C-alpha cells in the first residue's frame, strides 16, 4: 500500500465509521493537538428509541439518555458549555477552556419535550434552528415523506418527470433502494418539482406529508412559548423551504434568509444573528451563499462539514463546521473519539 493509498484509507475510515479507529488513536494519545479550541454539535430529533426495521433517517435521531451521557462526558473532559453567539469571543481567547455548543436543526417538538429539560438540568445553552415553512406547515420534509411512503407499502412507483420507476419494497433492501432513488432526485437540483411529485404520490397512497410535519415540528405558539420561558434556548434561522440553497437564484436565497430571520424575530422579539444551512453541505454552502448570509446580516452560519473549531475557522464565520451527534454512534467511546477532534483531523487536516 502506498502512502497515498494509506491516507485515502484513513480518510475513508474517518468519514464512514472510523470513529472506532479514532477512539483507538485517542486512547493512545496520538494526535493530541486535534481537539481544536471548541466545537459545535448538530442534533435533530431527541427521542426515545422506537424499533423499526426500515428507518432511513435513523442517523438524525439520538435518545435522551445518550444526550445526557454526552453532556456528562463532555463536562468530565473539561469542556464548558457555550452559546453559539459567544463563539467569536471564545475563539479569540486561547487561554479559555475548550467549549462546546449544542445546536438542533428543524425545530422538532421532541427537542422541547426531551432535550430542553436535559439541557436545563445541566445548565447547557442551545440554539434551535427554525425553518419557517415547516413551522407554518407550508412545506414538507421529503426525507420523512419518503420514509413513511416506502415503509408502509410493498410496492411504490415514482415519476419524477422522466418516466415511472417502480420498486418492489417488500424487503429492507428494496425499501432502501427506493429511498435512494428519491434521494438521487432531490440532491442534484432545486428540489421543488421532485417534492411536489413525491407529495402527490404520497397523498395518492394515503400518506399526508403535511400531517407528518404537523406531528413532528413545533408551530409558532410552541416556539414562542419555548423561547420566552426557557432562557437557555436561543432561536436561529434555517430558511423557509429547507431547499439546497446552492441551486437557487441569489434573490431567492436572500428571500429564504430574510424571511426566516423575520419569522424568528416575530417569535422571539429578537432578529437572529445565527443561521444554519439546510443540509449543511455543498447543496447549500457555497462561496456565493456564504456571502449572501453575510449580506443578510447573520454573524455566524453553520454547516455540517464535520470538524472541530481550529483557530483558522473564524476566518470563515459564514461556514463554520459542526460535528453531528449521529444516531448510529450512540456509545460513549464514539463521543470520546468525536471530542478528540481526531476524525476531523484525519479527514480534513484541521489543526
CA–CA gap between residue 142 and residue 209 (Å, rounded)? 8
Asked if residues 123 and 233 have their Cβ atoms less than 8 Å apart, the reply is no
If one asks whether residue 61 binds Zn ion (CB under 5 A), the answer comes out as: no
CA–CA gap between residue 134 and residue 312 (Å, rounded)? 34
Closest separation in Å from C-beta 245 to Zn ion: 12
Nearer to Zn ion by Cβ, of 105 and 256: the residue is 105
Closest separation in Å from C-beta 143 to Zn ion: 10
Window 226-285: residues binding Zn ion (CB under 5 A): none
Q: Which stretch binds Zn ion (CB under 5 A): 4-12, 72-80, 98-106, 336-344?
A: 98-106
If one asks whether residue 105 binds Zn ion (CB under 5 A), the answer comes out as: yes
Q: Which of 327, 345, 324 lies closest to 40 in space, CA to CA? A: 324
Closest separation in Å from C-beta 108 to Zn ion: 10
CA–CA gap between residue 326 and residue 297 (Å, rounded)? 30
Q: Which stretch binds Zn ion (CB under 5 A): 106-114, 152-160, 259-267, 342-350?
A: 106-114
Size of the site for Zn ion (CB under 5 A): 2
Nearer to Zn ion by Cβ, of 107 and 317: the residue is 107
CA–CA gap between residue 291 and residue 86 (Å, rounded)? 21
Closest separation in Å from C-beta 350 to Zn ion: 24
**3-class SS of residue 118:** helix
Nearer to Zn ion by Cβ, of 22 and 198: the residue is 198
Here the cell at position 227 is: 423561547
Q: Which stretch binds Zn ion (CB under 5 A): 31-39, 85-93, 104-112, 138-146?
A: 104-112
Angle between helices 287-295 and 250-268 (to 10 degrees): 40
For Zn ion, which residue has the nearest CB?
A: 105
Closest separation in Å from C-beta 242 to Zn ion: 6
Closest separation in Å from C-beta 132 to Zn ion: 12
Beta strands in 16-162 (DSSP E): 38-43, 45-46, 61-62, 80-81, 99-105, 126-130, 155-159
Q: Which stretch binds Zn ion (CB under 5 A): 73-81, 102-110, 215-223, 287-295?
A: 102-110
If one asks whether residue 106 binds Zn ion (CB under 5 A), the answer comes out as: yes
CA–CA gap between residue 334 and residue 42 (Å, rounded)? 15
Here the cell at position 7 is: 491516507
Nearer to Zn ion by Cβ, of 42 and 201: the residue is 42
Nearer to Zn ion by Cβ, of 18 and 280: the residue is 280
Nearer to Zn ion by Cβ, of 93 and 215: the residue is 215
Q: Which of 322, 332, 347 lies closest to 27 in space, CA to CA? A: 332
If one asks whether residue 191 binds Zn ion (CB under 5 A), the answer comes out as: no
Asked if residues 43 and 103 have their Cβ atoms less than 8 Å apart, the reply is yes
CA–CA gap between residue 199 and residue 266 (Å, rounded)? 29
Nearer to Zn ion by Cβ, of 61 and 106: the residue is 106
Nearer to Zn ion by Cβ, of 99 and 102: the residue is 102
Q: Which of 246, 247, 241 lies closest to 260 in space, CA to CA? A: 241
Closest separation in Å from C-beta 217 to Zn ion: 10
Positions touching Zn ion (CB under 5 A) are 105-106
Amino acid at each position: 500500500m502506498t502512502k497515498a493509498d494509506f491516507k485515502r484509507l484513513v480518510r475513508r475510515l474517518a468519514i464512514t465509521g472510523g470513529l472506532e479507529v479514532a477512539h483507538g488513536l485517542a486512547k493512545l494519545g496520538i494526535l493530541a493537538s486535534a481537539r481544536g479550541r471548541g466545537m459545535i454539535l448538530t442534533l435533530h430529533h431527541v427521542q426515545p428509541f422506537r424499533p423499526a426495521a426500515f428507518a432511513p433517517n435513523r442517523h438524525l435521531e439520538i435518545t435522551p439518555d445518550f444526550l445526557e451521557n454526552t453532556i456528562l462526558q463532555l463536562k468530565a473532559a473539561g469542556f464548558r458549555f457555550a452559546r453559539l453567539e459567544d463563539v467569536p469571543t471564545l475563539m479569540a481567547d486561547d487561554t479559555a477552556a475548550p467549549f462546546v455548543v449544542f445546536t438542533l436543526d428543524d425545530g422538532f417538538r421532541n427537542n422541547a419535550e426531551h432535550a430542553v429539560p436535559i439541557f436545563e438540568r445541566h445548565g447547557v445553552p442551545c440554539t434551535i434552528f427554525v425553518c419557517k415553512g415547516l413551522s407554518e406547515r407550508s412545506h414538507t420534509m421529503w426525507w420523512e415523506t419518503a420514509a413513511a411512503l416506502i415503509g408502509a407499502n410493498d410496492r411504490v412507483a415514482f415519476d419524477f418527470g422522466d418516466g415511472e420507476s417502480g420498486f418492489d419494497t417488500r424487503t429492507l433492501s428494496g425499501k432502501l433502494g427506493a429511498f435512494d432513488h428519491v434521494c438521487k432526485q432531490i440532491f442534484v437540483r432545486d428540489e421543488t418539482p421532485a417534492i411536489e411529485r413525491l407529495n402527490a404520490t404520497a397523498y395518492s397512497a394515503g400518506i399526508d406529508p403535511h400531517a407528518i410535519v404537523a406531528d413532528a415540528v413545533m408551530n409558532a405558539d410552541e416556539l414562542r412559548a419555548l423561547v420566552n420561558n426557557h432562557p437557555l434556548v436561543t432561536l436561529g434561522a434555517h430558511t423557509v423551504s429547507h431547499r439546497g440553497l446552492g441551486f437557487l437564484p441569489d434573490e431567492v436565497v436572500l428571500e429564504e434568509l430574510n424571511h426566516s430571520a423575520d419569522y424568528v424575530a416575530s417569535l422571539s422579539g429578537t432578529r437572529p444573528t445565527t443561521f444554519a444551512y439546510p443540509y449543511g453541505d455543498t447543496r447549500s454552502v457555497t462561496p456565493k451563499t456564504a456571502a449572501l448570509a453575510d449580506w443578510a446580516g447573520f454573524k455566524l452560519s453553520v454547516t455540517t462539514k464535520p470538524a472541530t473549531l481550529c483557530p483558522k475557522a473564524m476566518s470563515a464565520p459564514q461556514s463554520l463546521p459542526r460535528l453531528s451527534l449521529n444516531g448510529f454512534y450512540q456509545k460513549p467511546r464514539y463521543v470520546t473519539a468525536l471530542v478528540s477532534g481526531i476524525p476531523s483531523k484525519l479527514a480534513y487536516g484541521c489543526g
